Amino acid sequence: MRVVKLKLDKFRGFGFLDFRPAGHVFLVGEPRAGRTTILAALRKVLDPSSTRVRPSLWDIHRPMVELEEGADYPLTTVEVTLVELGDEIEQQLDDRLELVDAVTGDLSTATGTSMVLGLRFRYCLQYNPTDESLEHWVEYTKTAARASKKDRDMLQAIVIDRTLPLQLRAEGSFRSLVASEDEERLNGTLSSFTDDVHSATDALASSDAVSQALKSMSGRGAAPALGISRTQFESGVAFVAEDGSISGLLRAIQATLDIDDAGALPISAHGSTATSILAVTEAIAASKSSGKILIVDDFGDALDSAAADFLARMVRRDATQVWMATRRSEAYGGFAAEEIARLSLRTGRPTVHQLSSKPSRQERVRRRYLSQLLASAMSSRTVVLTEGPHDSEGYGTLDDRLLSEPAQV
């Protein structure tokens, strides 16, 4: 599965954005230019949990629109066009599919080599200024029918966030990876695990030490104060992990890792770098096995330079499609020049800049120097190109002077 078109209308800092990715997406740019906003918009559509939380007024583009009395406030929308859905999803959503251009994401009624079956999926946020209420939902653009939880789960993206890796909770990347290997066996194992935990808690409740403690409490007024017999109290106490459900049990446990003399330690105890490595690699594996889109913000913040470069290359190689935002120039090496989307505030509003996917011969030659000359400055507001070491030394001296005399800047 991959996104061939992302369209934002009145979402956060973007009054309007029509973005056509050239394969993978590597988002860079100056602060506040909208890298995180683009990924947040994508998650509004492809993360089933996005509409389980309260809608936010801050997702509406500012400044707010002045309306005439009785007029409806403009709808805030995020629309994605998806292709390469796979046979199972295409069969399930057959009546919602449309013929789209696999390159541009535009609709078409004509047939051609680039025309494929696709799906337009849209997040909507409606604000009512009269009572200051908000409503949000996800719908199919073709029919305006609201998407069910089952449908949203099928189209769910894999997100690398700040949660610990190797979690078996239902929303985790690791759970998705394990389920893709053998979901039936996983369900059977989890059921057996639940039975074993219940057996263990039952044994704990009926142990001599617990029984004596309950008898002591009962004899000191617990039973009559509750309006029950001592026997009812002593036999009625049991124990459960969390709320007793499989989800509750899985939240109560965490993975450990034994890789040195310290023995088995929780993942977090191995440090932020190890935690980040495991989070990225489990997401890569889950994306490759399921064909789902991978979304990662602030990639590499907890990684050293070598690990950031290596894992970025692995992400691009194995993920079906990755949308990555980062401040780390080392992560650029594995991506094609046309996959870079640089965001800037040069015009006073967020703007996305992309290189052509069909460069001329001269442009191809210039792109060879992109990583050498510009990669380290991809998150800078201004880039200064110098012709030689003397110019570089002069500008460096000027930079030092400006820093030492901030009042004169």
Q: Per-residue pLDDT tens for 328-378? A: 888 887 888 889 898 988 778 888 888 877 777 777 777 776 666 666 667
Say how many CA atoms lie within 13 Å of 79 toward its Cβ. 21
Is 161 or 117 the better-scoring residue by pLDDT? 117
Do residues 142 and 96 make contact, with C-beta atoms less than 8 angstroms apart? yes
What pLDDT was estimated at residue 305?
Answer: 87
Residues in CB range of 122: below 8 A, 6 or more apart:
45, 77, 78, 79, 80, 138, 139, 140, 141
Rounded Cα–Cα distance for residues 351 and 29 (Å): 10
pLDDT band at 141 (very low <50, low <70, confident <90, very high): very high
**The pair of three-digit structure tokens given for residue 315, joined into one six-digit string:** 């992400």
pLDDT band at 409 (very low <50, low <70, confident <90, very high): very low
What pLDDT was estimated at residue 113?
Answer: 67
Tell me phi and psi for residue 209, to 5 degrees: -65, -45
The predicted model gives 82-99 an average pLDDT of 92
With b meaning 16 or more CB within 10 Å and e meaning fewer, what string describes 244-270?
eebeebbeeeeeebeeeeeeeeebeeb
